[in-house]
Amino acid sequence: MNAITPMPRPSPVAATVDLDAEGVQHGFLRLPYSRDDSAWGSVMIPITVIARGNGPTALLTGGNHGDEYEGPIALFDLARSLRPDQVQGRVIIVPAMNYPAFCAGTRTSPIDCGNLNRSFPGRPDGTVTEKIADFFSRTLLPRADLVLDFHSGGRTLDFLPYAAAHELPDKGQEQRCFAAVAAFAAPYSMKMREIDAVGMYDTTAEDMGKVFVTTELSGGGTSSARTVAIAKRGVMNVLKHAGIVEGVPETGPTRWLDMPSGDCFTFAEDQGLVEPCVDLGDAVRAGDVIALIHPVGRTGQTPAEYRAVLDGVLAARHFPGLIKSGDCLAVVATVEDAI
Ligand code: CA
């Protein structure tokens, strides 16, 4: 007997734009969300599609985490300014993927506590956050050749400004990803390692063979003129690199960094008050004290010393002044001349 394979359940998300039409369209991904203040209500995720003629498709996203701002600023700006006559191919822009989280200014969704970047590939019959992930997995990612997903550190982390890609089993795909990172031309470019890549948008896109670029562009739950300028220039550079927008990427000096092993991460084993001993971008040697954690329950206590395990630069740090056991305190990345 043949087993009957059930048809995959359709996504409940309705796009109010035609993803495959030419011209410029501003609209929404409308996701039904029934609740006390709106029985037949919806989450309305803004989307822009700009298309002309034949060419590759770039899928540009921000707000995967709701408290990271360079991406949404650069992408709302691009959505209102990029003209179809500048485009050969298609650009799909979603400035705030996890829109409920973005509106709340939080990393995760206030509706279901969903961390969108740990919810992939998602489910059409899951939570609101899982339904967003599923729509990206089955409707938007398959249309894309190149995916640029903006991140920053959010309220609890702060990073050197970098574009990044991952080491991949397909070395040709990996090379195309790092070529797009180089084109982005952030002040730093990272060979990025994840603490746990399960459920990430990155992994889903990479497993589909896409060219995937991500970023970390500072953090702390805010943005700066400098890092917004990096984001705006970077997205145009990537579109030029892909041949979707005419012109040559405006490159500048970039420093290639690597996260060669789990030793690059330092996790707090204490709670208390963080005293930074080096700042982002500072050179550190293995054994250097990078931060102290002061106990705050009483005076007269000795702070815990946290030391670098690798030679490199401080690439990320815990942002708030207080820390808990288990929080990521710091990331030390090694410096490469080039890849
Ligand atoms: Ca993030």
How far does the centroid of ligand 1 lie from the alpha carbon of residue 214, in Å? 10
Alpha helices in the chain (DSSP H): 70-81, 99-104, 128-135, 171-184, 201-207, 225-241
How far does the centroid of ligand 1 lie from the alpha carbon of residue 79, in Å? 21
Per-residue confidence (pLDDT) for residue 339, from 0 to 100: 47
Q: What are the tens digits of pLDDT across the range 163-194?
A: 999 999 999 999 999 999 999 999 999 999 89
Per-residue confidence (pLDDT) for residue 224, from 0 to 100: 98
User: For the chain, which residues score pLDDT lower than 70?
Assistant: 1-3, 337-339
Q: At what angle do helices 70-81 and 225-241 cross, to 10 degrees?
A: 50
Per-residue confidence (pLDDT) for residue 4, from 0 to 100: 74
How far does the centroid of ligand 1 lie from the alpha carbon of residue 26, in Å? 25
How far does the centroid of ligand 1 lie from the alpha carbon of residue 221, in Å? 10
How far does the centroid of ligand 1 lie from the alpha carbon of residue 61, in Å? 12
User: Which two three-digit tokens encode residue 178?
Assistant: 């790092």
Q: What are the tens digits of pLDDT across the range 77-103?
A: 999 999 999 999 999 999 999 999 999
How far does the centroid of ligand 1 lie from the alpha carbon of residue 216, in Å? 7
Per-residue confidence (pLDDT) for residue 338, from 0 to 100: 52
pTM of the model: 0.96
Q: How many CA atoms lie within 13 A of 220 on its CB side?
A: 14
**DSSP 3-state assignment of 27?**
strand
How far does the centroid of ligand 1 lie from the alpha carbon of residue 197, in Å? 13
How far does the centroid of ligand 1 lie from the alpha carbon of residue 114, in Å? 13
Distance CA 281, CA 300 (A): 32
Amino acid at 105: G
Q: What are the tens digits of pLDDT across the range 139-160?
A: 999 999 999 999 999 999 999 9
281 close to 160: Cβ distance less than 8 angstroms: yes
How far does the centroid of ligand 1 lie from the alpha carbon of residue 297, in Å? 32
Per-residue confidence (pLDDT) for residue 6, from 0 to 100: 79
